[in-house]
Each structure stands twice: as structure tokens, then as C-alpha cells.
């Protein structure tokens, strides 16, 4: 081998779980020579698992990406205050500079170096050839995935394709153009597809790359490249900061016409749809379900594995990892949970009525009953005042035994003025953990599956990096942009049907595009799509939740003739409920054009003087 240096491999326990029993029964060394890694399949596999550990918390970190966009508010503030005000600088990337964000330049390039090491050395390894092929394919897939993750934030990036050595005369690499970056990613994807052509969900360990994952990533990469943000004519007409930028090649895709680009998306998506390799769309419980049953089926779907899950990060309750704590991180404060990422009013209002029409605060019947007759995804995703949830822990159940969410303020005595109303258990003035309570008036339900009815228990779960749904949604988007509206409606209505909404019949391209974007927002809530979708569609300034922050105030007043109450439980026969949108002061949200791309941190520029900064910084 060309290297004889020592490779330090941190054998995190989750990596060892995937190895053989024999491998677990030895006392693993902390320092292993490179020669040993390439001589034994189990050691090479452990090295590969260390690369996968770059996915770490996946989308289940305490500080979710959803709170960096118009999905949720992070209750505890922190760097989101700067991120959501557009206050990023080359010295401060705010939330995106944190480890939990998963988009850090340094960490991703460190992982890419390991992929390069694999690609360079695996052919000379001395273990079984078939396994060498699989591991090399995974290395190409992971390098493509991480390069793409960087390109989403920064545009064109330095394409580090070799393992640097101490003897190298120069470590600095200039940024490649965005087109070259995408072409390299697609090249890696093609290599991975060839090497993983026999790898399916049924014959591959969970959480590792398969051919379907490779082909689905290709669809995502092509969709990004075809979108408005990376088309120079479209983007510069909308964003003056980009129009005046001197290095446009770092931001824009120049391969083919716009029609060619969307055609490539359509063809890549349709290829996987026609040969889904064991995957497919879930029916969310099937047809004929009542609204409540459909909502429960959707909620259950996001707690279990299914044919839709193409590439996921798996968490097990025996490991103390962030992914096992979604219920603790985000559950209601009246359950000893932390209420971390709470839905904002703009998201809540985006859920349709059950008949497919829009919710509207200006309609008296909607304002009076904002949580009635909504589409099933609303009930599967959002906890709101009066919603039946699980039994509270014993100490809190003694105060509030109904297990209904209480985010309002309730009159118990007809003589009480508003400032004397009883504070609900899940408010910041109630009997729960007030410092963890919601400001918005809501809590998250999607991905919240408490074990043994206690949010403090760790859970088994998976975060879906890529679902088969995304492939089909991208196909619909490509058809819309190509003007093939009949085909777009055909597949879009599959999604409408499975969530119990009526089919769309519009023949307007603009209207169908808007319906599609609104639906995609709700379908992929908390799955780390929205932040990037807002940017690639160049709609940051058009999104109310990116430029303002609202929650809800719930006030319940005793009906005339109803006497003093000793306790409270949601009851519309005894209380009149008033729901009011209220502005929140926790963040001053403002979308700033420069944040269509992230700044390269000053430290990275100091290390590499060939780096050109993104516009606006």
C-alpha cells in the first residue's frame, strides 16, 4: 500500500452494532494501520460505518432545520434568531455553523476525505472482491451525497477528489463552477449505480446505500440544477445581489436548455418509478378510511419502516442518540418534554380544509373553529388546544387527567377577569415545565411516538433522508415545468387521493405549480426539504412565515348560565372558544436575498486563499 500511516477510527457503539457478533466480542483496538484496514473486510466495514456516522443526528437533532425556515419556531432561541433575520456573515453562520446542522464545510470535507481514501485504496484490498465492489459503490454514493449537500448551501465548491498528503506542495483548491460541481456529482452517482447495481433494500444492511438510493439522489441533484435559483436568466432577474455578482459561474447551471434540464429530471424519476427496486408509494392506510383513521394511519407511517423509505438513518432506543429523543425534544411541556420545535401559525394555516379548499381566517366559520374539518395530515402532524393526546405522567396527570393538549387560558369562575383565567397545562404559565412550553400555541405530532406513553423514554425510529414520494413529487414538478399538465395531474392526484383530498382539475400551469408547492410543503414537514425548496424556487420574500412570526391565542369563556367550575377539560358545551392570531416577538424574521447561498466561513478563506466568497457577504 502507498500509505503506512496510522488511521484513527472511532468505533462508536452504533457502528459496532452492525458488525458480527465475533467482532463485538473482542476488545477493539483504537489504532489500526491502513494495511490492516484494507486486509480485512470487517475493518474496512467499520471504516465505512465511520463515514456513515457523518449523518449523525440526521434530521432529529434537538435544533431542527425546520426552525430555520417557515415550519417551526425553536422555543429556546439560540442561533436561529440570527439565521432567521438574515444576519449571517462570513464570521458567523449562526445555526448553520453548528454541528447539529449537518451542513458544516469542515466536517463534510473531512468525511469526503475518507470517501476518497476508500475509492483510492479499496481495489487493492485483499478481502472478498464482491464486498470490495459494494464498499466502493457506497463510497462513491456518499461522496456524491456530501458534495451535493455542500453545493446546496454554497453553489460551486472545491472538488477534492484525492487524499492530500503532508508532502503535497499546496493544499488549497479553488471552487469549481456550479456546472462542474453537478457534473462531478453525477459522475460519482453513475459510478455508484454501476457498482451497486445488485444492491437492493432486501439484500443490504439497513441504512446503507442501495441502487434505489443512488438513482433517487440523481433525481434530487438534477431537480436542484434545473430549478430557478440555478438558472442565470431567471435568478438574476429576481435577485439584484446575484445580478451584480462577478463570479456567476459559481452559482448557475449551464448544461443544456431549461427544457433539457427538466426533461433530464423527468426521465431520471420515471426510470426509477418504472423499476422501483422494491419501493413504492404508501397508501397511508388505504381507501375508505374515516378522516380520523386516515390521520392516524399517516401518523403511524412516520413511526415505522415502509416500502417508501429508500435511504434512512435508523435509531435504536438502547443508544443515547438524538434520534431516539424526538418525543422528549418536541413533546408538550405538560408531559415533561422540551417543546423545542413548535409549528408556526403560517404552517398551521397552510393545511387545507377536508374538502380541499384553503383555510381562511377571514371566514367566520373557519375563525370560530380553526381545528375542525381540516385535512388528515393536519391531525397527523399538529398538536393544538383540545386535541386528545396520551395520558400524562403520574405527577402531571394528578393535575390534568384528561390527556388533552392545553395551550389556552380558561375561565373557571364567571366573575373572573381574563387575567385571572386558568392557564392550560401546556402553556408558559401552566402547571407543566413552563420554560419548555410553546410560544406558538402548538406542538409537533409528526415523528412523535412516545414509548410506554412517556416522552422521556428513548424510542426506535428512522429519519427518511430519501423517500420514494420525493422521486414522484420531482416527476410531477418536472412535468409541470415542461407544460405536460395532464401527466402532472395524474401523479399529483395520487398524493391527493392517499391523504383523502379531492383531485385537482385545473388546466392552469401557474395554479397547478402553486398547488404542488403547497402540497409538497405539508408532505415533507420536518424532513429537511422546505429550507432548500424555498431557495431553489426563489420565493423567500413571498413566504409569510419567512418574514413574520405568528402564533395563536386561545381563550375560553364560560357560556352564559354556566356556573363556577372546579377544574377544566375541553368542552364546547360549557365554554365559548375564541382563537386569535398573535404576532410573536421571539424572532424578527426577515428573508434576506444574500441567504439564498451560505457564506464561506472566514476561517476557511484564511486557510485557502483561492476561495471566492458568495454574493452579499
> Residue 25: its pLDDT value, please?
41
Q: What is the pLDDT of residues 269-292, one digit of tens each?
A: 999 999 999 999 999 999 999 999
SS3 state of residue 583 = strand
Where does residue 295 rank: exposed (0-12), middle (13-18), buried (19+ CB within 10 A)? buried
Q: Are 70 and 534 in contact (CB under 8 A)?
A: yes
Of 536, 508, 512, 511, which is closest to residue 238 (Cα–Cα)? 536
Give mean pLDDT, residues 490-503. 98
- Say what percent of the chain tops pLDDT 90: 90
Q: Are 568 and 410 in contact (CB under 8 A)?
A: yes
Could you count the other beta carbons within 10 Å of the beta carbon of residue 161?
15
Give mean pLDDT, residues 88-99. 88
Count Cβ neighbours within 10 Å for each residue of 486-503 and write b for 16 or more, e otherwise.
ebbbebbbebbebbbbee
Q: Are 471 and 274 in contact (CB under 8 A)?
A: no
- In this structure, what C-alpha cell is assigned to residue 99? 454541528
| C-alpha 420 chain-centroid distance | 41
Residue 167 pLDDT > 90: no
- The per-residue pLDDT of the chain, averaged, comes to 93
Q: Are 204 and 558 in contact (CB under 8 A)?
A: no
Count of alpha carbons within 13 Å of 314, Cβ hemisphere only?
17
> Residue 4: its pLDDT value, please?
31
> Residue 205: its pLDDT value, please?
94
Confidence of residue 166 (pLDDT cuts 50, 70, 90): low
Of 260, 265, 281, 217, which is closest to residue 475 (Cα–Cα)? 265
Where does residue 116 rank: exposed (0-12), middle (13-18), buried (19+ CB within 10 A)? middle
Task: Give the separation between CA 323 and CA 314, rounded to whole angstroms.
Answer: 8
- Say what percent of the chain tops pLDDT 70: 94
Residue 254 pLDDT > 90: yes
Q: Which residues does 475 contact at the CB level (< 8 Å), separation at least 6?
A: 219, 265, 266, 269, 270, 273, 491
Q: What is the pLDDT of residues 189-198, one digit of tens each?
A: 999 999 999 9
> Residue 168: its pLDDT value, please?
73
Give mean pLDDT, residues 516-536. 98
Please write down the HEC assignment for all residues of 308-374: CEEEEEEECCCCCCHHHHHHHHHCCHHHCCCCCEEECHHHHHHCCECCCCCCCCCCHHHHHCCCCCE
Confidence of residue 173 (pLDDT cuts 50, 70, 90): very high
168 or 307: whose pLDDT is higher? 307
> Residue 81: its pLDDT value, please?
96
Q: Which residue has the cell 483510492?
A: 120
In which element (H, E) is residue 119 found? helix 105-121
Give mean pLDDT, residues 228-254. 98
Of 33, 587, 65, 603, which is closest to residue 322 (Cα–Cα)? 65
Q: Are 50 and 115 in contact (CB under 8 A)?
A: no
Q: Are 405 and 467 in contact (CB under 8 A)?
A: no
16-30, 197-211, 539-553: range with lowest mean pLDDT: 16-30
> Residue 257: its pLDDT value, please?
98
> Residue 521: its pLDDT value, please?
98
> Residue 29: its pLDDT value, please?
52
> Residue 12: its pLDDT value, please?
39
- In this structure, what C-alpha cell is assigned to residue 289? 378510511
> Residue 98: its pLDDT value, please?
77
Residue 20 pLDDT > 80: no
Q: Are 601 and 611 in contact (CB under 8 A)?
A: no
Task: Give the separation between CA 19 and CA 30, rounded to whole angstroms.
Answer: 16
Of 236, 174, 254, which is closest to residue 600 (Cα–Cα)? 174
24-28, 188-192, 341-345, 456-460: range with lowest mean pLDDT: 24-28
Could you count the other beta carbons within 10 Å of the beta carbon of residue 594?
17
Confidence of residue 10 (pLDDT cuts 50, 70, 90): very low
Task: Give the separation between CA 536 and CA 596, rounded to whole angstroms.
Answer: 8
Residue 349 pLDDT > 50: yes
Q: Which residues does 213 contact at the CB level (< 8 Å), separation at least 6?
A: 141, 310, 311, 466
Residue 102 pLDDT > 60: no
Residue 239 Cα distances to 53, 224, 242, angstroms: 37, 18, 6
Q: What are phi and psi of 7, to 5 degrees?
A: -100, 125
24-28, 199-203, 281-285: range with lowest mean pLDDT: 24-28
Task: Give the separation between CA 102 and CA 97, rounded to whole angstroms.
Answer: 9
- In this structure, what C-alpha cell is assigned to residue 8? 484513527
> Residue 30: its pLDDT value, please?
60
Residue 165 pLDDT > 80: no
Of 172, 110, 180, which is closest to residue 142 (Cα–Cα)? 110
Where does residue 573 rank: exposed (0-12), middle (13-18), buried (19+ CB within 10 A)? exposed
Give mean pLDDT, residues 373-381. 98
Confidence of residue 22 (pLDDT cuts 50, 70, 90): very low
Task: Give the separation between CA 82 and CA 215, rounded to whole angstroms.
Answer: 36
> Residue 103: its pLDDT value, please?
58
- In this structure, what C-alpha cell is assigned to residue 614? 458568495
Q: Which residues does 117 contact at the CB level (< 8 Å), separation at least 6?
A: 163
Confidence of residue 32 (pLDDT cuts 50, 70, 90): confident
SS3 state of residue 105 = helix
Q: What is the pLDDT of residues 558-598, one digit of tens each?
A: 999 999 999 999 999 999 999 999 999 999 999 999 999 99
Q: How many residues does the chain have?
A: 617
Confidence of residue 99 (pLDDT cuts 50, 70, 90): low
Characterize the bridge pairing of strands 550-558 and 409-410.
Answer: parallel
> Residue 164: its pLDDT value, please?
81
Q: Cα 363–520–260 angle (5° rounding)?
A: 130
Amino acid at each position: 500500500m502507498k500509505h503506512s500511516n496510522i488511521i484513527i477510527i472511532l468505533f462508536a457503539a452504533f457502528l459496532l452494532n452492525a458488525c458480527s457478533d465475533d467482532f463485538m466480542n473482542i476488545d477493539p483496538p483504537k489504532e489500526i494501520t491502513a494495511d490492516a484496514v484494507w486486509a480485512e473486510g470487517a475493518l474496512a466495514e467499520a471504516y465505512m460505518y465511520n463515514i456513515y456516522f457523518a449523518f449523525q443526528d440526521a434530521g432529529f437533532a434537538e435544533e431542527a432545520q425546520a426552525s430555520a425556515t417557515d415550519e417551526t419556531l425553536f422555543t429556546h432561541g439560540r442561533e436561529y434568531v440570527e439565521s432567521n433575520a438574515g444576519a449571517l456573515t462570513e464570521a458567523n453562520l449562526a445555526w448553520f455553523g453548528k454541528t447539529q446542522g449537518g451542513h458544516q464545510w469542515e466536517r463534510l470535507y473531512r468525511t469526503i476525505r475518507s470517501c476518497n481514501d476508500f475509492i483510492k485504496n479499496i481495489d487493492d484490498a485483499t478481502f472478498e472482491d464482491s464486498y470490495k465492489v459494494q464498499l466502493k459503490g457506497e463510497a462513491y454514493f456518499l461522496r456524491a451525497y456530501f458534495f451535493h449537500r455542500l453545493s446546496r448551501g454554497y453553489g460551486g465548491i472545491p472538488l477534492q477528489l484525492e487524499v492530500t498528503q503532508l508532502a503535497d506542495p499546496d493544499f488549497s483548491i479553488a471552487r469549481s463552477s456550479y456546472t462542474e460541481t453537478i457534473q462531478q456529482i453525477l459522475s460519482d452517482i453513475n459510478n455508484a449505480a454501476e457498482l451497486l447495481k445488485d444492491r437492493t433494500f432486501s439484500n443490504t444492511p439497513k441504512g446503507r446505500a442501495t441502487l434505489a438510493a443512488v438513482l433517487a439522489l440523481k433525481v434530487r441533484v438534477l431537480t436542484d440544477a434545473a430549478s430557478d435559483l440555478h438558472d442565470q436568466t431567471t435568478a438574476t432577474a429576481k435577485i439584484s445581489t446575484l445580478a451584480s455578482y462577478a463570479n456567476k459561474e459559481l452559482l448557475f447551471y449551464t448544461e443544456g436548455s431549461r427544457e433539457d434540464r427538466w426533461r433530464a429530471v423527468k426521465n431520471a424519476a420515471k426510470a426509477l418509478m418504472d423499476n422501483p427496486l422494491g419501493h413504492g408509494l404508501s397508501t397511508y392506510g388505504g381507501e375508505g378510511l374515516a378522516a380520523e383513521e386516515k390521520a392516524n394511519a399517516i401518523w403511524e407511517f412516520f413511526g415505522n419502516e415502509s416500502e417508501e423509505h429508500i435511504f434512512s438513518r435508523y435509531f435504536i432506543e438502547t443508544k443515547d442518540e438524538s434520534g431516539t429523543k424526538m418525543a422528549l425534544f418536541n413533546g408538550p411541556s405538560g408531559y415533561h418534554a422540551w417543546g423545542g420545535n413548535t409549528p408556526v401559525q403560517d404552517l398551521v394555516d397552510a393545511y387545507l380544509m377536508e374538502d380541499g379548499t384553503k383555510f381562511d381566517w377571514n371566514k367566520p366559520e373557519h375563525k370560530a373553529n380553526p381545528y375542525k374539518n381540516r385535512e388528515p395530515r393536519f391531525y397527523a402532524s399538529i398538536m393544538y388546544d383540545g386535541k386528545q393526546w396520551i395520558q400524562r405522567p403520574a405527577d402531571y396527570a394528578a393535575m390534568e387527567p384528561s390527556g388533552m393538549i392545553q395551550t389556552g387560558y380558561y375561565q373557571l369562575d364567571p366573575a373572573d377577569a381574563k387575567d385571572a383565567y386558568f392557564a392550560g397545562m401546556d402553556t408558559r404559565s401552566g402547571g407543566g415545565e413552563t420554560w419548555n412550553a410553546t410560544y406558538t400555541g402548538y406542538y409537533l405530532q409528526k415523528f412523535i411516538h412516545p414509548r410506554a406513553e412517556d416522552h422521556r423514554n428513548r424510542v426506535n425510529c428512522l429519519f427518511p433522508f430519501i423517500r420514494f414520494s420525493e422521486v414522484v413529487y420531482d416527476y410531477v414538478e418536472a412535468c409541470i415545468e415542461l407544460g405536460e399538465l395532464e401527466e402532472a395531474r395524474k401523479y399529483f392526484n395520487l398524493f391527493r387521493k392517499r391523504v383523502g383530498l379531492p383531485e385537482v382539475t385545473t388546466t392552469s400551469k401557474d395554479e397547478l405549480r402553486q398547488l404542488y408547492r403547497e402540497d409538497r410543503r405539508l408532505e415533507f414537514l420536518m424532513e429537511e426539504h422546505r429550507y432548500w425548496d424555498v431557495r431553489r424556487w426563489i420565493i423567500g420574500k413571498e413566504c409569510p412565515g419567512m418574514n413574520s412570526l405568528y402564533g395563536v391565542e386561545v381563550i375560553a369563556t364560560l357560556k352564559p348560565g354556566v356556573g363556577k367550575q372546579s377544574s377544566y377539560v375541553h368542552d364546547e358545551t360549557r365554554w365559548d372558544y375564541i382563537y386569535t392570531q398573535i404576532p410573536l416577538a421571539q424572532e424578527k424574521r426577515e428573508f434576506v436575498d444574500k441567504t439564498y447561498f451560505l457564506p464561506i466561513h472566514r476561517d476557511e478563506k484564511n486557510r485557502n486563499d483561492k476561495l471566492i466568497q458568495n454574493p452579499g457577504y
